[in-house]
Structure 1
Amino acid sequence: MKAFIALVHREYIEHRGAFFIAPLILVGVVFVLTLLAFSVHRIDSRFSGQLLTVVPTWVFVAGFAGLATGWMVYLGFTLFFYCADGFAADKRNNAMLFWKSMPVSDLKVLTSKLVAALTVLPGSIFAVALLSILIMFGVAYVTTMIAGLGSVTLLGSIALIFAQMALVFLVVLACALLWYLPYMALVGAMATAVGRWAIPLAVLLPTILSVLEWVTLGGLHPFATATWRFLDYRSQFPVSFDYLERVWDGTEQFDAGTFLADFLGKFDWTQVGFGALFAIAAIVLAAEYRKRGAIT
């Protein structure tokens, strides 16, 4: 178990630039730009403070949701390139013979990479994301104080919104990782065989599969097949917007428990299970390839 934890830690050390340092620098740059915007009067603190006081709940919930969505998009791109690059790193940097000499199986090495992609690497992004949102909330509250509209009640409401939205963010992020697990495993497995060529292949693979079905079974065109419809469904994160639309319309107050109950109740857990089985099969096959013929 200690060896496996060390392998996961190795993945974090080797890729912390993209998953921790770069996001942290980005947060610092945005914070400095925000301070400059207020200091040179590019933003009217009195107007923004009044706006935050008139609709405080909506502004903070929407702001948290917007930033969290942006960070999840960033995480999606970095995980895609991590799987395409990290699974082939040992072969590319001539470290394969070293790992072959260690009492660590190929399956354990590849599994550690996938576990890192599901835990410590997105965990770093999550921590930085919360820091960035906390800074945003702090700037917003200071703005209300400058406008003479800050209060202990407003501060308590902001803290409650942050706690609720952080819980929502964590649950949605975990579900997103489980939903896209088969994609990560597939890209990583292909990278084990073809290295960085897994990036264009992962983009072309859905089209190739759909065209093959169209050629063999027929259809209106290559993008009107059962394969394409299934891949399109699996590519879109299943989020129910019924409750959120009521919140945005102002007909209902946002409540984390209500949202999570609605979200988790409508989540396609059957597809998550099938995706997990596919991911396991892909990693096992990639480990067999790495063990039998990956050294070049």
Structure 2
Amino acid sequence: MKTMISLLKREFWEHTGMFLWTPLSVAAAMICVFTMPFLFGQHLISAHVLDRVGRMRDDTQRVGDALASIYMLSSGPLLIAMAGIIFFYCLACLHDDRRDRSILFWKSLPVSDFQTVLSKLLVACLVVPLIFLTIATAMSFCMLMILSIAFSTQEVFIFKDLLANGKLYLTPLQIAGILPVYILWALPSLCWLMLVSSWARSKVFLWAVGIPLLVVFLIGMLKLLIYQDADMQWFVDLILGRSIGSLVPGAWIRFESIPLNAYFPLSKEDSGFERIFMISWHTLTSLQLWLGVLLAACMFYMTVRLRRWREAA
């Protein structure tokens, strides 16, 4: 356990800029962009909008409930950036130390290849999402407070109703509760990228993206040659989606063909994120999910073996 903790700390120290300063910079930029209209763009806000805000004075409880239910939606761009960070980290995590030959130093330590690869996988699927979720929650709360202050300038005081609303505290927990689902759906992409990172000697990005694209292209050409009218969209989703696109949070919506209206609350009393939580966990009954996990386990085993054989050769 101590060895694994040390390996995780090593990965964080080596990629502090990617794992910590990048999400902090994105969050700060989003807060600044969100704040500017309230500070310098009063002339951009129409009288109609101000009139609608003014009519909220007598219904602050409903306004507070609505904001507490949806304020975490502002974290969407940050979570998309998280997928990009994880993508490029997995591509480089086992390739860079072979390129600069630092792998010779790390292999001199009493750490097995299995532990090394597992630590990098844990960083990609657990440590990085937790960091981004924490920063996203703090950013969304700051933006909510800024909006509440802006409302108070129009004599719409919602702080009391907002802070007393349980959804304000429950929504981040519901999003964090989807993390195990995200990890399981993302495992094929994570292990594929790490497999390419341990195998390719150069042009890692081209190999990781080019091979799935080439397979889809060859299947499409084969379909044209044999004059088949079968729908190949499922195959494109299987190859491209599970090998690359699984890193995007909520990708299971596409894989399971879940209609978007299923995520919206049926009544005003329902929480949108509560339905997202329940539907996301329901996808654990999907055969596609567990076949992907099985394939990811095979690719993880191949990654560990390749890391050993590459250097032995």
Please tell me the TM-score bracket, short chain as reference.
0.7 to 0.9
Check whether the contact 1:210–1:225 (CA below 8 A) recurs between aligned residues. no
SS at match of 1:180: helix
Q: Which of 136, 144, 148 is the aligned partner of 2:143? A: 136
Q: Give, in whole Å, the separation in 2 of the partners of 1:6 and 1:257.
A: 36
Partner of 2:193: 187
Kept in 2: contact 1:7–1:112 (CA 8 A): yes
1:229–1:30 Cα change, 3 Å: closer
> How many Å apart are 1:196 and its aligned residue?
5.7
Instruction: Provide, for residues 20-67 of structure 1, a one-character-per-residue CA deviation record: whole Å limited to 9, x for no partner.
Output: 1121122223334444432324465956854875744445534422x2
Distance 1:210 1:189 in 2: 19
The match for 1:81 among 66, 77, 88 is 88
Of residues 7-16 and 196-205 in structure 1, the stretch that sits farther from structure 2 once superposed is: 196-205
Contact 1:91 1:295 in 2 (8 A): no
How big is the shift at 1:188?
0.9
Residue in 1 aligned with 2:72?
A: 64
Counterparts in 2 of 1:60 and 1:231: CA distance versus 1, 3 Å: farther
Q: Is the 8 A contact 1:107 1:287 kept in 2?
A: yes
Q: After TM superposition, list the pairs within 5 Å mapping 1:26-175 onto structure 2.
A: 26-42=26-42, 44=45, 49-50=53-54, 53=60, 55-65=63-73, 67-151=74-158, 153-156=160-163, 159-175=165-181
Higher mean displacement: 170-179 or 76-85 = 170-179
- Equivalence for 2:25: 25
Q: Which residue of 1 aligns with 2:277?
A: 260
- For structure 1, list consecutive stretches of 5 or more residues without a partner in the other structure: none
Q: Which residue in the other structure is 1:7 paired with? A: 7
Q: Is this contact kept in 2: 1:50–1:149, CA < 8 A?
A: yes
Does structure 2 conserve the Cα–Cα contact (< 8 Å) formed by 1:106 and 1:290?
Answer: yes
Aligned-residue RMSD, C-alpha:
3.1
Alignment of 1:244 with 2:263, yes or no, is yes
Alpha-carbon displacement from aligned partner over 1:150-194 (angstroms, at most 9, x marks no partner)? 14542235x523322212221334322320111111111111121
Contact 2:64–2:158 (8 Å) recurs in 1: no
Report the AA paired with residue 263 of structure 2.
L
Relative to structure 1, the CA distance from residue 18 to residue 276 in structure 2 (aligned partners, 3 Å threshold; closer, same or farther) is same
- Equivalenced residue count is 292
Q: Secondary structure at the match of 2:200?
A: helix
Matched, 1:272 2:289: yes
1:288 aligns with 2:305: yes
Task: Identify the residue that residue 204 of structure 1 maps to in structure 2.
Answer: 210
CA displacement at 1:285 relative to structure 2: 1.2
Structure 1 residues 221 and 97: alpha-carbon distance in aligned structure 2, compared to 1, 3 A threshold: farther
Q: Which amino acid aligns with 1:21?
A: W
TM-score by length of 1: 0.83
